[in-house]
Amino acid sequence: MASSPIVSINTHTTASSPRPHILYTVEATRGGNRVVVNKRYSEFLALHNALAPSEDITVSLPPKRILVTSFIPSAWLDDVLIEERKTGLAVYLTAILAHSSYQNTAVLNDFLSNESKVAHAKLDLEDALPSTMSRQKALQLKTQLLSGDKEAAAANGEVKAKATLIAAAYYPDWSESEFPPESLDYTRFSILFFAFAIPNSSNTLNWDSGSQDMLSRTVTAARNSGAGTRVVLSVGGWGGSVYFSQCVASAANRNTFVNTLVNAVNTFGLDGIDIDWEYPNQVGAGNINSPSDAANFLIFLTQLRTMLGSSKIISAAVPDTPWLGSNGSPLTNVSAYAAQMTYLNIMNYDVFQSSSTPGPNAPLGNLCGTSSLPQYSAQAALSQWTAAGFPASKMLLGLPLYGYVSNSTKMALSGSFVDPSLHEATENVINGAQAQAGNHARHGRTIPAKKAPEPQGSSGKKGKKKDTNLQGWYGQQIPFSSIVTSGALVKNADGTYGGGGGFTEGWDNCSDTPFLFNTSQATVVTYDDTFSLGDKATFAKQSGMAGCFTWSLDQDDGVTLQNVIRSNLGLS
Residue 11 inside a domain? The answer is yes
Tell me the angle at which helices 530-542 and 560-568 cross, rounded to the nearest 10 degrees. 30
Cα distance between residue 374 and residue 352, in whole Å = 12
Q: Where are the alpha helices (DSSP H) in 320-441?
A: 335-340, 378-387
Amino acid at 202: S
pLDDT surpassing 50 at residue 562: yes
Q: CB atoms < 10 A from the CB of 216, how many?
A: 14
Give the mean pLDDT of the chain: 83
pLDDT surpassing 60 at residue 146: no
Residue 138: predicted pLDDT: 43
Residue 144 inside a domain? The answer is yes
Task: For 552-568, give the DSSP string.
Answer: -GGGSSTTHHHHHHHHH
**Maximum Cα–Cα distance for the chain, whole Å?**
81
What confidence category does residue 55 fall into, taking pLDDT thresholds of 50, 70 and 90? low
What confidence category does residue 19 fall into, taking pLDDT thresholds of 50, 70 and 90? low
Percent of the chain with pLDDT over 90: 62
What confidence category does residue 426 fall into, taking pLDDT thresholds of 50, 70 and 90? very low
Average pLDDT over residues 70-78: 36
What confidence category does residue 79 fall into, taking pLDDT thresholds of 50, 70 and 90? low
Residue 263 inside a domain? The answer is no
Average pLDDT over residues 485-508: 95
- Residue 61 sits in a domain whose CATH number is 3.30.1520.10
**Which is more confidently placed, 149 or 220?**
220
Average pLDDT over residues 15-37: 80
Residue 60 inside a domain? The answer is yes
pLDDT surpassing 50 at residue 290: yes
What confidence category does residue 64 fall into, taking pLDDT thresholds of 50, 70 and 90? low
Residue 135 inside a domain? The answer is yes
Average pLDDT over residues 374-382: 96
**Domain that residue 86 falls in:** 6-156
Residue 163 inside a domain? The answer is no
Residue 145: predicted pLDDT: 43
In this predicted model, what pLDDT tens digit does every residue of 158-191 receive, in sequence order? Answer: 333 346 899 999 999 999 999 999 999 999 999 9
Residue 480: predicted pLDDT: 98
pLDDT surpassing 50 at residue 433: no
**Which is more confidently placed, 182 or 139?**
182
**Number of separate domains in the chain:** 1
Neighbouring-strand partners of residue 102: none
- 8 A C-beta contact, residue 324 and residue 279: yes
Lowest-pLDDT range of 38-47, 482-491, 496-505, 529-538: 38-47
DSSP 8-state secondary structure symbol assigned to residue 161: B
Residue 170: predicted pLDDT: 98
Q: CB atoms < 10 A from the CB of 136, how many?
A: 9
Residue 123 inside a domain? The answer is yes
Residue 131 inside a domain? The answer is yes
pLDDT surpassing 80 at residue 42: yes
In this predicted model, what pLDDT tens digit does every residue of 522-539 receive, in sequence order? Answer: 999 999 999 999 999 999
Cα distance between residue 211 and residue 197, in whole Å = 8
**Which is more confidently placed, 433 or 228?**
228
In this predicted model, what pLDDT tens digit does every residue of 438-452 receive, in sequence order? Answer: 676 543 322 222 233
Cα distance between residue 158 and residue 137, in whole Å = 9
Cα angle 377, 379, 383 (rounded to 5 degrees) comes to 115
Residue 132: predicted pLDDT: 34
